[in-house]
């Protein structure tokens, strides 16, 4: 038996009770709504930043890409 095989067979499996906190459907919806509200707030701030002419072209492109990704994520999160 090689060292690796011996190590693998020496591991002992134990059943350990673990408390699991289950979330209700309402809790999950509130978490998603909170996340969507935060993304909306971030998009508003980024839009204000983009409206100011303080960014170089390459930075503006990166910002536009980030905003597009956030909007896509937001669309996937929001219920229809």
Pull the structure tokens for residue 45: 């701030």
| Rounded distance between C-alpha atoms, residue 2 and residue 24, angstroms | 49
pLDDT at 3 over 70: no
The reported pLDDT for the residue numbered 48 is: 86
Mean per-residue pLDDT, 10-21:
68
Average pLDDT, the chain: 78
The model's confidence at residue 14, banded by pLDDT at 50, 70 and 90, is confident
| Rounded distance between C-alpha atoms, residue 50 and residue 64, angstroms | 8
* pLDDT, tens only, 27-64: 777 777 788 888 888 888 888 888 887 788 898 899 99
Output the CA torsion 53→59→62→63 (10° steps): -30
pLDDT at 6 over 80: no
């Amino acid at each position: 038996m090689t060292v690796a095989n011996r190590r693998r067979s020496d591991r002992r499996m134990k059943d350990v009770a673990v408390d699991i906190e289950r979330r209700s459907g309402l809790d999950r919806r509130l978490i998603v709504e909170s996340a969507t509200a935060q993304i909306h707030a971030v998009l508003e701030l980024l839009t204000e930043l983009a409206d100011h002419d303080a960014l170089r072209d390459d930075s503006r492109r990166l910002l536009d890409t980030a905003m597009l990704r956030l909007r896509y994520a937001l669309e996937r999160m929001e219920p229809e």
